[in-house]
């Protein structure tokens, strides 16, 4: 359900983005950092859904707060001639990897459990068959 919604959102966004007007080059660096912040928020959201501690207020405030803070930092950095946005990117990407790790661990564990269950079921079936064969032979 969650992933279907994400997929639909992505497709709609791409379609609208292809038809939307282009922004001016001056602001493209701000949009870039906002994209990274939003990406981080989305990964964080998925991870928290998996961890079952998803809080709507925290998620939405994080989405906008992170993006706005990152843009403000970029502007400040340009005024001070320091590449502050690099720090923002490092933090966001680091958190993205952490969240991705959570998501990955959850699914790997789920799948390995499923495989184990199947394997044990098969073993049981085989044992049962063998037992049945033995009983028939007897």
Partner 1 sequence: MPNKKLISIILGVMCFALTLGIVVQVRTIRSTNSTISQNQEANELRDEILRYKERYDNRFAQLEEAEKELEKEREEATKNNSELEQAQQQITEGNKLTGMTEVTGPGVTITLTDGTGIATSTLNPSQLIVHDLDVLSVVNELINAGAEAISINDQRWVLTTAISCRGNTIDINGERIGAPFVIKAIGLPEYLAGLERVGGYLELMRGQGVGVNLERSNSITIPKYSGVINFEYLQNVEK
Where along the sequence are the contacts to partner 1 (CB under 8 A)?
1-2, 4-6, 8-14, 16-18, 20, 22-26, 28, 31-32, 34-35, 38-39, 41-42, 45-46, 49, 52-56, 59-60, 63
Both structure tokens of 64: 């906008």
Joined tokens for residue 24: 């001016």
CA dihedral of residues 51, 57, 63, 65 (deg, nearest 10): -130
Tell me the three state secondary structure of residue 65.
helix
Minimum CB distance to partner 1 smaller for 5 or for 135? 5
Distance of closest approach, residue 71 Cβ to partner 1, in angstroms: 12
Residue number with CB closer to partner 1 (16 or 137): 16
Are 42 and 34 in contact by the 8 Å Cβ rule? The answer is no
Cβ of residue 118: shortest distance to partner 1, in angstroms? 27
CA–CA gap between residue 28 and residue 34 (Å, rounded):
10
Closer by beta carbon to partner 1, 65 or else 112: 65
């Amino acid at each position: 359900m969650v992933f279907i919604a994400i997929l639909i959102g992505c497709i709609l966004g791409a379609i609208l983005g292809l038809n939307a007007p282009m922004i001016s080059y001056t602001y493209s660096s701000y949009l870039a950092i906002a994209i990274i912040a939003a990406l981080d928020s989305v990964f964080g959201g998925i991870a928290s859904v998996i961890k079952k501690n998803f809080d709507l207020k925290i998620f939405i405030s994080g989405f906008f707060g992170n993006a706005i803070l990152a843009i403000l930092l970029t502007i400040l950095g340009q005024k001070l001639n320091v590449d502050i946005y690099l720090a923002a990117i490092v933090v966001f990407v680091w958190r993205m990897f952490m969240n991705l790790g959570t998501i990955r661990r959850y699914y790997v564990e789920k799948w390995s459990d499923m495989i184990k269950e199947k394997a044990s079921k098969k073993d049981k079936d085989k044992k049962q068959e063998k037992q049945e064969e033995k009983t028939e032979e007897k």
